[in-house]
C-alpha cells in the first residue's frame, strides 16, 4: 500500500482551506451579529432618552387606589388644544362600548357637556385595562375636576353597569 505524496498534500490543502473558510465565515457572522446588537443598544438608548424627555417635559402620572378597580394609574399628556389622559387599571374591565352606553344612560355625558361647552371627551380603548381620554381643554383646574368626576363615576356607576352588562350577557348564553 503506497501513498501518493501529491494526493496527500492536495487533501491536506483542501482540509486547511475548508477549516479557514469555515472559521472566517463564523467570524463574519459573529461580527455582523455584534454590529446588529450594537445598533439595537443605540436605538434602545435613544428610545429611553426620548421617553425620559417626554415624561419630564409634558406629562405627569398619578397613582390612586380605587375600591372597584384597585391600583389605578392616570397619565396626563397636555398638547396645545387638548389634554389626553391614559387611565390604566389592574382589573381588565374597561370597555369603551360600555363606557359610551352607560355615560348616556346615567347622565354622565350631560355632566361632560356642561363642563366642556357641549363637547364630550373622546376616548379609545388601548386594552381591557387601559383607556385614552382626550379632553377638549388644557385648563388644569377643569381637567382635575373632570378626572375626579370621571374616576368617581367609573368606580361607582360604571362598574355597576358593567357588572349588569356581564350578567345580562351570561343570562343570554345560559338561557
Greater pLDDT, 143 or 15: 143
Rg (CA), the chain: 31
At the top level of CATH, the class of 59-174 is alpha beta
Q: Are strands 130-135 and 83-89 parallel, antiparallel or unpaired?
A: antiparallel
Is the confidence at residue 60, as pLDDT, over 90? no
Distances (CA, A) of 171 to 118, 158, 166: 37, 20, 9
pLDDT of residue 17: 76
Top mean pLDDT of 19-23, 30-34, 92-96 is at 92-96
Average pLDDT over residues 66-78: 89
The phi-psi region of residue 155 (left if phi > 0; otherwise alpha if psi is between -120 and 50; otherwise beta) is alpha
Greater pLDDT, 10 or 53: 10
Average pLDDT over residues 160-174: 80
- Predicted TM-score (pTM) of the model is 0.63
- The structural domains of the chain, with segments of one domain joined by +, span 1-57, 59-174
pLDDT tens readout for residues 129-152: 999 999 999 888 898 899 999 999
pLDDT of residue 175: 59
pLDDT tens readout for residues 29-43: 777 777 777 776 666
Mean pLDDT across the chain, nearest whole number? Answer: 81
Greater pLDDT, 154 or 2: 154
Angle, to 10 degrees, between the axis of helix 96-105 and the axis of helix 159-174?
110
Cβ atoms of 70 and 89 within 8 Å: the answer is yes
Residue 51: pLDDT band (50, 70, 90) is very low
Amino acid at each position: 500500500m503506497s501513498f501518493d505524496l501529491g494526493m496527500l498534500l492536495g487533501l491536506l490543502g483542501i482540509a486547511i482551506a475548508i477549516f479557514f473558510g469555515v472559521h472566517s465565515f463564523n467570524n463574519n457572522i459573529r461580527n455582523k451579529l455584534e454590529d446588529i446588537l450594537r445598533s439595537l443598544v443605540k436605538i434602545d438608548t435613544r428610545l429611553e432618552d426620548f421617553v425620559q424627555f417626554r415624561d419630564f417635559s409634558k406629562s405627569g402620572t398619578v397613582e390612586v387606589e380605587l375600591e372597584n378597580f384597585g391600583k389605578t394609574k392616570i397619565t396626563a399628556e397636555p398638547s396645545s388644544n387638548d389634554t389626553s389622559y391614559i387611565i390604566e387599571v389592574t382589573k381588565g374591565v374597561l370597555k369603551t362600548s360600555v363606557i359610551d352606553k352607560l355615560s348616556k344612560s346615567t347622565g354622565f355625558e350631560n355632566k361632560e357637556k356642561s363642563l366642556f361647552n357641549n363637547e364630550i371627551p373622546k376616548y379609545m380603548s388601548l386594552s381591557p385595562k387601559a383607556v385614552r381620554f382626550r379632553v377638549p381643554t388644557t385648563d388644569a383646574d377643569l381637567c382635575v375636576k373632570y378626572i375626579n368626576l370621571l374616576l368617581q363615576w367609573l368606580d361607582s356607576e360604571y362598574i355597576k353597569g358593567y357588572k349588569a352588562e356581564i350578567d345580562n350577557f351570561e343570562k343570554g348564553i345560559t338561557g
